[in-house]
């Protein structure tokens, strides 16, 4: 995208500062007027044909192979799963440009450059930031209105709907206000929007707390065209800093926008320990000292592992408000109503192994085996399905000699059978849990099973210690290749 943007020289803005630079370079601002437009639902409105048109246009400017174009298009097939059911866009097409990801943002930028290339005939000084566009012209009001209509027609031709206004001298764009009459720019804050900053008493690294007021002051100065504008915009930010415990006084410090040095592309591995003021040890310094100690220059791995390739950056834990919100959301969710029928055992099948609760699913269960001539042994297991399904699997392994190694429980039962010793098994439910969740990447069932094996060893005498290090067996079931659509 960077090389394509440099070759086209189009105004595709990446931040507020690039918009300000564009505005500052406008000549005779008082004679100009704005045409402002917004693409409605930009990401989901990008069709497969529009993306292919943009890619075919881009391949004439940068190197893009057919395989790369095909890969980009194919990766836009997306499915949203909710309660085990796939949700797709209207129609049978799976094509969708998803929001919130780097991939989706790059596609939006590519399509944005393509659209700008189709607007060159309008002879406008125009720019685009994702779905927000801004242009200036020195036309008369009626002519500017006709250009606005042509602008809408171009977007409508690609299946995009826009809202637009023309002949305006003052606009709010991103977080800045641009005024052509006075030739100034100033910070813009949405109505009823109040800035909020991390409190000085919060559990955050000192370097972060120290730089918060400095960053606020720097940004506010950079999006203010002069000191008068800065002083008029500063009070709500100053009050927010004061309410957060900062004594810093905001003052106008204009700085030229610098591109900065181009950083080298280096592979850096970050160690991110959670930060806490209660920890007195200097975790960062100690960690870097361990790197220097165990990977000196004489070590063959020092070129890969050193203080230039391994960095430390503290991670901050969720605040109390987030924790409370997560808890409230969890407890406020409607309870899952269990089916009224908890057992389907009949006299033909035999007595229910769990006393009428064999249809319970997502359980950690326990089996107590009492041989005739020796002490009792216990086994702790887990199942995502109903207990009855798991019980049938165990029962089949007790009947078939070829399945004697399927579980440690079946191995023990076949040892008793080989000795001709009778036994009795009592089943019980220890706990319930939720299976693997691909969003949180945790499995409540497997975690609880390991917990009971460790902290209640008397209930898991047959379980092997190696089970504590086994991977989650429910994780593979969530892979896309195993899902039915």
Place of tokens 């106008």: 252
Q: How many Å apart are CA 344 and CA 194, to the nearest integer?
A: 59
SS3 content of the chain, % helix, strand, coil (to 5): 40, 20, 40
Residue 163: per-residue pLDDT:
94
Secondary structure of 215-249 as H, E, C letters: HHHHHHHHCCCCHHHHHHHHHHHHHHHHHCCCCCC
Residue 104: per-residue pLDDT:
87
Q: In which order are the strands placed within the sheet that holds 176-179?
A: 170-173, 176-179, 184-187
**Secondary structure class of 442 (helix, strand, coil):** strand
- Please say whether the beta carbons of 397 and 406 come within 8 A: yes
Q: How many Å apart are CA 95 and CA 73, to the nearest integer?
A: 8
**Secondary structure class of 364 (helix, strand, coil):** strand
Q: How many Å apart are CA 83 and CA 261, to the nearest integer?
A: 48
Contacts of 353 (CB under 8 A, 6+ apart): 387, 388, 391, 427
Rounded to the nearest angstrom, the gap between the alpha carbon of residue 164 and the centroid of all alpha carbons in its chain is 32
The pairs formed by 370-375 with CB atoms below 8 angstroms and a separation of 24 or more are 370/423, 370/424, 370/425, 370/426, 371/416, 371/421, 371/422, 371/423, 372/421, 372/422, 372/423, 373/421, 374/421
The whole-number mean pLDDT for each consecutive block of 10 residues of the chain, a chain of 485 residues, reads 83 92 92 93 90 91 87 84 69 77 88 92 90 93 93 92 93 94 93 90 89 94 93 94 94 70 74 88 92 93 91 84 83 63 69 85 92 90 91 90 88 90 91 87 90 91 87 81 61
Residue 339: per-residue pLDDT:
52
Residue 350: per-residue pLDDT:
65
pTM, two decimal places? 0.62
Q: How many Å apart are CA 230 and CA 180, to the nearest integer?
A: 18
| 381 beta partners | 365
């Amino acid at each position: 995208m960077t090389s394509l943007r440099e070759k086209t020289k189009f105004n595709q803005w990446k931040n507020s500062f690039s918009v300000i630079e564009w505005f500052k370079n406008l000549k005779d601002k008082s004679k100009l007027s704005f045409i402002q437009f917004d693409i409605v639902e930009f990401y989901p409105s990008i069709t497969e044909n529009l993306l292919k048109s943009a890619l075919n246009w881009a391949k004439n400017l940068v190197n893009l192979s057919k395989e790369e174009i095909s890969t980009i298009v194919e990766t836009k097939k997306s499915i949203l799963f909710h309660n085990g059911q796939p949700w797709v866009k209207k129609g049978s097409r799976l094509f969708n440009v998803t929001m919130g990801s780097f991939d989706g943002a790059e596609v939006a930028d590519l399509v944005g450059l393509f659209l700008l290339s189709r607007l060159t005939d309008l002879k406008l000084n125009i720019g685009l930031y994702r779905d927000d566009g801004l242009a200036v012209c020195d036309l008369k009001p009626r002519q500017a209105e006709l250009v606005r209509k042509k602008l809408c027609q171009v977007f409508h031709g690609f299946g995009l709907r826009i809202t637009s206004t023309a002949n305006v001298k003052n606009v709010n764009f991103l977080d800045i206000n641009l005024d052509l009459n006075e030739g100034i720019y100033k910070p813009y804050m949405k109505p009823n929007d109040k800035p909020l900053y991390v409190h000085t008493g919060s559990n955050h690294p000192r370097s972060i707390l120290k730089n918060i007021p400095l960053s606020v002051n720097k940004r506010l100065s950079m999006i203010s065209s002069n000191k008068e504008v800065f002083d008029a915009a500063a009070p709500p930010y100053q009050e927010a800093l004061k309410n957060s415990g900062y004594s810093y006084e905001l003052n106008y410090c204009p700085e030229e926008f610098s591109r900065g040095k181009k950083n080298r592309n280096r592979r850096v591995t970050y160690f991110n320990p959670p930060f806490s003021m209660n920890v007195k040890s200097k975790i960062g310094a100690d960690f870097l000292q361990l790197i220097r100690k165990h990977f000196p220059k004489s070590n063959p791995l020092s070129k890969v592992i050193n203080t230039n390739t391994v960095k430390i950056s503290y991670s901050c834990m969720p605040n109390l408000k987030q924790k409370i919100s997560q808890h409230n959301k969890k407890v406020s969710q409607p309870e899952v109503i269990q089916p009224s029928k908890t057992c389907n055992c009949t006299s033909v099948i035999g007595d229910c192994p769990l006393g009428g609760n064999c249809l319970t699913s997502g359980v950690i269960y326990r089996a107590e085996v009492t041989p005739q001539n020796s002490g009792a042994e216990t086994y702790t297991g887990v199942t995502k399905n109903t207990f009855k399904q798991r019980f049938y699997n165990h029962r089949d392994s007790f009947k078939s000699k070829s399945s004697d190694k399927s579980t440690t429980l079946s191995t023990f039962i076949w040892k008793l059978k080989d000795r001709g010793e009778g036994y009795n098994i009592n089943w019980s439910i220890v706990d319930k849990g939720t299976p693997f969740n691909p969003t949180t990447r945790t499995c409540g069932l497997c975690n609880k099973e390991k917990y009971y094996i460790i902290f209640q060893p008397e209930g898991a005498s047959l379980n092997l210690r190696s089970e504590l290090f086994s991977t989650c067996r429910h994780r593979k079931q969530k892979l896309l290749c195993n899902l039915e659509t």
